[in-house]
Amino acid sequence: MKDQAEGLREKMRRSQTKTGPRTIVVTSGKGGVGKSNVALNFALSLVERGKPALLFDLDVGFANIDILIGYSPRKTFVDMIEQQLPLNQVIERGPYGLELISGGSGLGKLFHVDQEKLHHVLLQLDTLASRVDYIVLDTGAGLSHESLSLMLAADDVLVVTTPEPTSLTDAYGVIKVLCKYNRESHLHLIVNRCTKPWEGLQTARRLQAVAQQFLDKEFNYLGYLPHDSAVQKAVLNQQPFIKMFPASKAAQAMKVITAQYLGQQFEQQPVEKEGRLRSFFKQLIAPFRQKETG
């Protein structure tokens, strides 16, 4: 017999497939804290748990994910917009059942599409809506208009930090700006590169205390990843660490993080007639369109 929590989760899943996939933006204040590794392994971990997920590489210019798993995309999302290609030409079948889209260079174009291209993008996104349950978006560090817009449009914002004070201060900076524009954002935290098991919780508590005091904002602490040479070895071998070293501490910790994320009950969003992905994209480009037409 299913327990109540399981029943709720199934209800949540059904509502998701009806309205489209949940979008999760992985971000950080400081660079190099492990965003791309988290995004890749978290997305794969969702797939492992039977949740179809797509990884969208939006780290403009650096092609992070490409390097992490040693693939070179034939076509990018920017190509799709520019050349009006069907989406299935830009979705790559990555390793271990993971689907991938590379943003491509000149991603600023994404935010400045004209009416005809917008129509094309929205139609293509519709084909994606029924295909996956989650879209994990890897971004560059820090705050630009584009990355802020991305965070505001997404269902979930996953902030990655390390226990270092510099990383933590920068993470707080991102949360502060985000809260300024949307107090309702679903914020999640992962503390990466912990040298002691308790360091993650300690770091999360520190950040939560400041966020509570100055922003009156709570976030979900999803868990920590240990500093683990398995991650570095996997990067060198261009493999995801959860697949190359499934018994490693980092891989085990990623499982806990994924379970924690999936175990959460998100409040039911009103069912949008046009679907979650369409409204994500429209919301994403809205500030830029207002600027252009205003």
Ligand X SMILES: Nc1ncnc2c1ncn2[C@@H]1O[C@H](COP(=O)(O)OP(=O)(O)OP(=O)(O)O)[C@@H](O)[C@H]1O
Give residues in contact with Mg ion (CB under 5 A).
35-36, 59, 64
Residue 178 binds to ligand X (criterion: CB under 6 A): no
81 vs 230 by CB, closer to ligand X: 230
Helix, strand, coil % in the chain, rounded to nearest 5: 55, 15, 30
Return the beta strands (E) in 79-235 as ranges.
Answer: 91-93, 99-102, 134-138, 156-161, 186-194, 220-226
Nearest to 114 by CA among 148, 86, 91, 84: 84
Mark the segment that binds ligand X (CB under 6 A) among 101-109, 129-137, 229-237, 264-272.
229-237
Q: Amino acid identity, residue 226?
A: P
Q: How far is the CB of 193 from ligand X (least distance, A)?
A: 5
Cα 183–Cα 185–Cα 186 angle in degrees, nearest 5: 135
Q: How far is the CB of 230 from ligand X (least distance, A)?
A: 8
Residue 63 binds to ligand X (criterion: CB under 6 A): no
Q: How far is the CB of 186 from Mg ion (least distance, A)?
A: 22
What CA–CA distance (Å, rounded) separates 221 from 190?
Answer: 6
36 vs 41 by CB, closer to Mg ion: 36
Binds ligand X (CB under 6 A): choice among 22, 51, 120, 193: 193
Residue 102 binds to ligand X (criterion: CB under 6 A): no
59 vs 155 by CB, closer to ligand X: 59
Mark the segment that binds ligand X (CB under 6 A) among 8-16, 121-129, 227-235, 283-291.
227-235
Which of ligand X, Mg ion, none interacts with 263 (beta carbon under 5 to 8 A by kind)?
none
Nearest to 227 by CA among 273, 145, 163: 163
Cα 261–Cα 266–Cα 270 angle in degrees, nearest 5: 145
